[in-house]
Every structure is written in structure tokens, then in C-alpha cells.
Chains A and B, each alone.
Chain A
Amino acid sequence: MIANKHLMPGIAAIVVLAVLPLLPVPPFWITLANNVGLASLVAIGLVLLTGVGGLTSFGQAAFCGFGAYTTAVLTTAHGFSPWMTLPVSLLIGAAVAVPLGLMTVRLSGHYLPLGTIAWGLAIYYLFGRIEMLGRYDGITGIPPLNIAGYPLLSGQSIFYVIWIFVILTAIGAQNLLNSRIGRGIRALRGGGQAAEAFGVNIERAKLIVFIFAAIVAALSGWLYAHMQRSVNSTPFGLNMGIEYMLMAVVGGSGYIWGAIFGSAFVLIVKEILQRVMPELVGSGINVEMVVFGILLVAILQLARNGLWPMVARLMPAKSQRSIPTSVRKLAKRTLAPPGSPLIKVDRARKAFGGLVAVSDVSFEVKAGQIVGLIGPNGAGKSTTFNLITGIASLTSGSVSYQGQPLTGNSPREIAKHGIARTFQHAKILPDMSVLENVALGAHLRGSAGVFRSFLRLDREEEATLLAEAAYQLDRVGLSQYRDRPAGDLALGQIRILEIARALAADPTILLLDEPAAGLRHGEKQELATLLNKLRQEGVSVLLVEHDMGFVMGLVDHLVVLDFGTLIAEGRPADVRRHPAVVAAYLGGVA
């Protein structure tokens, strides 16, 4: 019982919701609660889309419109029964979201919210102009929902339907976020490049949240149509789109339960303002807009993460999550036989305009080898690295993996070969736990999709992925920080975390970009021990490094670049005495 203490507030909330309509409360309380439920659905969508995914949309009200108008037309003009139109409404919402999403998610930065304002307005005007949708008058006489022949005419009866949908959606959304797909979605804000390097399809993840947000908005619209029994275009305009955004921001746009809290907060404040203000400042004056505007600005200035974190602090803390032990083991890749060529860089060239950053560089990494790529500042090491990982595109030449060309492949496709990397400027997701950051690395080793995640059917696979992540953390010695937010770690630990994440991908080769930078002496020794161990297991490593002491004692083969050209390669001891290398590092006559 004690372990489930954190569930108490949720259970209490459900009990309150269940008995509320049975109590002798004024009827407008029920109406208000119904409206909170409807708005919560849209706000939950916005939490995923904006708060988690970082895609700001002011156009969600338009999707409510599609849901509402679909059922309105089908039930009034074509005699459909209300429940039959539910899947159609959701499908129409999704169908509209696909092309709009394909267009919208391509929009970068501030163009995205402006784009949503534009199509939000255009769709709103469209609703009011189409004959079939009753133009400005809208459609009336929509039949109520019914359960077992009993029509849900009263506010009390539809209350349960609305809130069951809200709770199921919230739980489903929470499931989705705590899944393989969810980690990809959570990486959208600030971690796109890292996620892409582990095989997450960023464009697809964006589209998924966009469609999800559209479907829950359409659901809200469908419920609204049957609650109100009539629709017109007014509630689907930009103003409502803005109000939904307000709810998500007030609640704290990164929190699912914050969406419900924010919707309740905004609608209750609105109700109070509408009742109290006319007595204070005279009737006929509408101050709610002013108050909302000021509220929105004040929350952004004073509590950028919304009000939910403050509420959550009052709740009992969640008990430490135990790592699910999994019977099933993840399949491992078969490694190439030691000594066989793994990565072959052949006359790779990269020019930025007139500047040739990498000039016809060729080298090889053999299976089971640790290869070091060194050179003075500006030698073209990082550019070479980016050419192999697919971040930069080759001007000419080629890069191949086990004979298959990688040229032109995206980082995501390169990841599928078992090539895992770390970043020079560590790219972790600071708000996600250390464990989840590592689990992101195992993305391609799972297969659960959106539906399985939403319905929590992915638990067995999820358990194996998390167990794998925990194993890798153990391996690099970070298991004590497992449940801490990754942003709490020190720089050296973050570098190690990146290596654990790369290991979770079950790589055949690790590409490490300055792994020892920022590490203390002891940590460097531990890192060297770890890399040696990996080599014994047959994993190859290519590393870019500045620390000569670290490199010399570790690598089998050294490649030295200077001014974009390869000046020497070979065993560390030989390279060290190479006159060109000495000249490049110490200056003097070559």
C-alpha cells in the first residue's frame, strides 16, 4: 500500500469526479466541469505537441471543428447514430492533420506558430462559409449520445462520458511518453540530432504528436457537438486556439496532469470573472480577456514552467522506480571477424565554398581496432568525423561500411548499421532520467509503435530495453545516478553517459568525438580501461582526441590530419617520430 502512495491523489480525484454529479451542486458546476473536460482533451494534445515536442500550435480549435462538424453532418443529414460517427470524426481529424502536419512540421522556429495561426484562421473562416455546414448559423438538432437506448440528455449523464474519455486519454498519453516512441518525442525539443543518430525518425515523431494532438482535439469536438446538440463556427476560431494554449501554459506545458489543472484553472477563473466582475465594474464590460492576457504574461514572467510543478510538490513523492528485470535478452549483432575492414574512408573531400576543410583523406578502421584521429586545431578532424556520421555531406570521395557505401545516408540510416557515436558537445536530454537517456540509444532494438505504447502493450519490450540500459549504466559505472535527471551530472559523467547510450545501441563500432575532454585523470584511466575491454569483446572504436597521453597508450592505429590533409598514419610509436607530425605539432622546419 505504501508503495502506491503516489497514486492516492489520483484516486481521490477520480472519486470526487465520480460523486460530483450525484451531489446537490448547482447545475452550472456540472456544465463547467464538462467544459473543463472538453478543454482538457485539447490541452493534453497541446502538452504533447508543444510542451514535450516543442511544436507550438495556435490552431488546435480547428481540429475540434472537424470533429464536431463531421458528426453534426453525419447525424443530422445522413441519419448516422452518434456512436458510429466517433471513429469517422477521429479519422477526419487525423486525415486533415496528415497534410497540415506534413506542411506544418517542416516549418522551422517561429514560422511554425505563425503558420498555425494562418491555417487556423483560414479553416475558421471556411467553416462559416460552407453551405453544407450551415454557414454562420451552423447545424442544429444533433442527436444526443445514448447508452443502451437511454439518451444522455442531461449534463450529469454526459459528464461521465466526457471524463472517462479525459482520464483514458491522459493515461494513454502518459503511457506513450514513457515508451520507446515517447523518448523520441521527448527528444524533439533540443535533442533532435542525438536522437537521429540513434535511429529516431524525427520528422515522423513530429508528425505522430501532431496527429495525436489533432485526434484528441477532434474527440473533444465530437463530444462537444453531442453535449451542445448544435454547432457553429464560433468555438473553433483563433481565440479558442489561443485559449487552449493559455490553458496548457498555465498548467505547465510539459505535464499531462498540468493540462487538466490548467483547463480547470482557466475556465473557473473565467466563470468567476463573468459572475463577479459585472458587479464590480458594471455590466456589459468584458474584462476576462484583459485578465487572461495579463495572466498569460505574468505566468511566463514568474513561472515559466506553469503552475503544475507547484501543485505536484504538494503531492506524495513517487517511489523509486525499480528496474524491471527481464527474462528476455535483446538480440545482439554478430561482430565482424577481427582484422576485416569495417570502415573505409576513400579520398573523402569536403569543401565549404572555397575552403577545403578535408582534402582527399583516405584511411581504414579494421574490426577489433581502436583508431585515433588526431591533429592540431582546425586540422579537419571534426569535419571528417561528421562525414562518417552523416551530419555533413561529402563533396567528393566515399565512405563505406563493410563494403556498403554510406555516402548520402542520413545519420538515422547510418545508425542502423550498428555505428554509434558520441558528440563533442555532449547532447543529452537534461530533463530525462539518466536511465531513459541511455534507453534512447537502444531505440532501434525495440519495435513497439504508437498504438502498442498508448495501450501499454509494450511493457515486456520496454522492460528489456530498460534492463539493457541499466546494464550499460552498470558497465560504465553510473548506475548510482540512474534515476537522476541527466542534467544533474557533471561534464565528465555526461561524457560517460553518452558512451553508455552508444553502447545501448549494440554497436559494431563506436565513434567517439573527444571522449576524454573534461575528464579528470582517474576518469580518463577508467575510460581507457573500458575501451580496452570493448576491444577485447570485438567492438571497434574510432576516436577523435586531443589528449596525446590518452591516445598513445590506447590506440592500435593513428591517423594524423593537418590543414585538411592526411600527413601520417601508422602505429603510435612510429607516428610520434614522423617528421611531418613533429612539424605540425611543434612548428619548425618540415
Chain B
Amino acid sequence: MHLDATIATFLIQDGLTNGAVYALLGLAIVLVFSVTRVIFIPQGEFVAYGALTLATLDAGNVPGTPKLLLCFGVAAFLLDLWSWRRDLKVDALARNFALNLGLPLLIYGAVLYLAPLQLPSVIRALMTVLIIAPMGLYVYRIAYRPLADASVLVLLITSVGVHLAMLGLGLIFFGPEGLRATPLHDGSFTMGPLLVTAQSVLIYLTTILIMVALYFFFEKTLLGKALRATAVNRLGARLVGVRTQLTGVTAFVLAATIAAVSGVLMGPITTIYYDTGFLIGLKGFVAAILGGMGSFPVTAIAAIGVGMVESFASFFASNYKEIIVFGLIVPVLIWLSIDAVHHEEE
């Protein structure tokens, strides 16, 4: 089979669709890294959780994730209690109780009630995001907050630990079988020779929407500016009164939300297994690295590029698809480190 115009346009569309999702993930990685210096490897697990939760909801069943959310909440609650063991304040305890136990219980109850009702697909998608997003909060509290002052490398190894734990939890809560969600809209239309599915249009629109929303968040809101300030200079931000713990939590919740949305978008176009998220997330990484872990626009463009390379590689050398995508990153990394300012690492 050789490449003709029809196949090429099909490959381009495929690459664009995947690239759009990688762009979202890349953005979340850049966001988390610049604010907290955490390289957010468990992002892929949030994607898988999102897709698998949606697929389970589609089948009218109660997914495992609300229960998992509750477990995370309990862990965060206990850790907070432990850290306050010397100096317990009633109002802080009440807030802790509401945030770490009340919120997940509420979500769990709502899902138990709503799941069997066969609600419209948009509601199911919203429920999914609502279940996954608070996980960012608890994961930050449990794993990263105690290490907020650690080096990038320690935080990276922590991320690998969180990735392992969440991957294992994914297997426990969803099992080894892959699931595929139903598209939010299963229509399609032709545009010239091209068959465009509603789902892919939805992916493009959502990606653009989230990018615009992020732009306004960072440019126009005080919290957004606080996040940017933390990203530029953590200590300086603290000195002028920015609560860096709050900005850290915000970055993680935003990242978990974006990952859940990516899962919802990705779920209907490919079968997702508990461990699929990692590879999808890593491609977001390739894009984020190409963007120097700092630039949102370059990351987005690079993500589309990654999607394209992957799409064409799967046509020309499908066996070597992953090798090409991950092999490509090495020369880029070298170029970036030669360019980067060298400083002594402590």
C-alpha cells in the first residue's frame, strides 16, 4: 500500500486528533512543572481513569473511581490529622473534614444515585471529570506537599512512585480488560474526500476552548497571576504573600481536570486499558519537553507534530512507531541542554 491523497488526509486527520489530546496533556505538564517543579508522570493514569470511568458509566455501572477518591480523601484526612497532632484547631479540623471526607462522600453518593439512571452522555462526561479532578488535590497533599522543597530529581522519583501506585490501583479498580466509551456524539459528515467524525471535531473544539480558558485564567485572574508568580520565583512569590501551597494545589487540580477531559475525549476513539494512559501521557511529555518545559504555545504546536509523526510512522513503519516517537526526543533534549544555562546542581 502506498501513500495517496486519501490516505494522507486520513493520516493528517488522525495525527491532528491525537495531537490535540497530546497538546492538552503537554499543557498540563508544563503547568504543573512551572508552578511546582514536579514532573507530572502520573498524568497518564488520570487520563486512563477518566476514559475507564466514562466507559463504565456508559454501561450504566458504578465505576471504581469514586471509591478510590474516597480512599485518597481518607488518606489525606489522616495525614492532616497527624501533621496537626501537636496543635489542633477546630476550624481547620472542620475544613479538613469537609474537604477530605465530605467532598468525596458527596461525589460517591451522587454517582451511586446517578449511574444507573441512563443520563445523557454529556452528563456522564461531566460526572467523570467531577470524579477525577479532586484526585489532583489529594495526590498533591499525600505525595508532593511534604516534599515541596525537595530537588527536581527527588520530585521526579516521587512522581515515578505515584505513577506506579496509581497504575496498580487502576488495575485493581478496573481490571486488566480494556474498555471503550461511546462517543458523546456519534455523527459524522464529509468534507470533500474527508470523513470527519463529530468526536474529532469535539476534540478540536475542547482543546481550543481549554487553551483559551487557560489564557484568560493566567492573564486575567488573581489566582492565575499568583500561579505565574510562583512559576517565576517561588520564594519571591511567598515573600509578597502568595500562598505557594494553594498555587500548588490549584496546578494539580487543573492538571487532573485537563487529564480527565483528555480521557473523556480519548475514550471513545481508542480502547483504553489501565496502563494505556502512561504511553499517552509520555507523548504529552515529548511535546512539553520540546516546548522546553516552559512554553505553552510551543508545547501545543509540538504536540500536533508528535501526533503527525506518530500517525505517519504507523503507516510507513507501524512496528517502529513508538521507537520513532521516543527516539526523536533524544536529539532534541541534547539541543536543549546545550542551549540551557549551566549551573551547579546541589
Contact = CB atoms under 8 A, between A and B. Distances in A.
B125 to A, nearest CB: 28
Given A107-B334, A297-B161, A122 B326 contact: yes
B160 A242 contact: yes
Nearest to A302: B146
A125 B322 contact: yes
Interface of B: 39, 142-143, 146-147, 150, 152-154, 156-158, 160-169, 171-172, 282, 285-286, 289, 293, 319-320, 322-323, 326-327, 329-331, 333-334, 336-338, 340, 342, 344-346
A190 B345 contact: yes
A287 interface: yes
A293 interface: yes
A114 B168 contact: no
B152 A245 contact: no
Contact of B168 (A107, A129, A287): A287
A190 B346 contact: yes
B323 to A, nearest CB: 5
Contact of A290 (B153, B168, B340): B168
Given A118-B326, A118-B329, A125-B323, A296 B334 contact: no
B274 to A, nearest CB: 10
25 contacts: A56-B153, A106-B338, A107-B337, A108-B340, A111-B336, A113-B153, A117-B282, A118-B333, A121-B322, A122-B323, A129-B319, A129-B323, A190-B345, A285-B171, A286-B168, A286-B172, A289-B171, A290-B165, A292-B165, A293-B165, A294-B161, A297-B158, A297-B161, A301-B147, A304-B154
Nearest to B339: A108
Nearest to A126: B323
A109 B163 CA distance: 21
A54 B345 contact: yes
- Chain A interface: which size bin? 35 or more
Given A115-B334, A293-B162, 15 more contacts: A54-B153, A106-B334, A109-B340, A111-B336, A118-B329, A121-B326, A125-B323, A125-B326, A192-B344, A285-B171, A285-B172, A289-B164, A293-B163, A293-B167, A296-B161
Contacts of B289: 111, 114
Interface in A74-118: 103, 106-111, 113-115, 117-118
A298 to B, nearest CB: 8
Contacts of A295: 161
A119 interface: yes
Contacts of B157: 56, 245, 249, 296, 300
Nearest to B152: A110
B164 A110 contact: no
A119 B330 contact: yes
Nearest to A119: B330
Contacts of A56: 153, 156-157
A288 interface: yes
Query: How would you classify the secondary structure of chain A's contact residues: helix, strand, loop or mixed?
Result: helix
Given A106-B337, A115-B329, A129 B320 contact: yes
Closest 3 CB pairs of A and B: A293-B165, A289-B168, A296-B161
Contacts of B282: 117, 121
A292 B293 contact: no
Q: Which of A58, A107, A111, A304 has the most CB of B within 10 A?
A: A111
A393 interface: no
A475 interface: no
B326 A119 contact: yes
Contacts of B331: 103
Given A118-B329, A242-B160, A300 B154 contact: yes
A362 interface: no
Contact of B162 (A54, A113, A246, A297): A297
B147 A300 contact: yes
Given A290-B169, A290-B172, A107 B153 contact: no
A291 B326 CA distance: 29
B344 A289 contact: no
Contact of B164 (A106, A190, A292, A300): A292
A118 B327 contact: yes
Q: Which of B163, B164, B286, B330 has the most CB of A within 10 A?
A: B164
Nearest to B338: A106
Nearest to A253: B157
A189 interface: yes
Contacts of A246: 161
B340 A296 contact: no
Interface in A271-287: 285-287
A108 B167 contact: no
A64 B282 CA distance: 23
Contacts of A111: 289, 333, 336-337, 340
A296 B39 CA distance: 16
A193 interface: yes
Contacts of A286: 168, 171-172
Given A126-B323, A290-B172, A301 B333 contact: no
Interface in A285-330: 285-297, 300-301, 304
A287 B167 CA distance: 10
Q: Which of A122, A189, A245 has the most CB of B within 10 A?
A: A122
Nearest to B172: A285
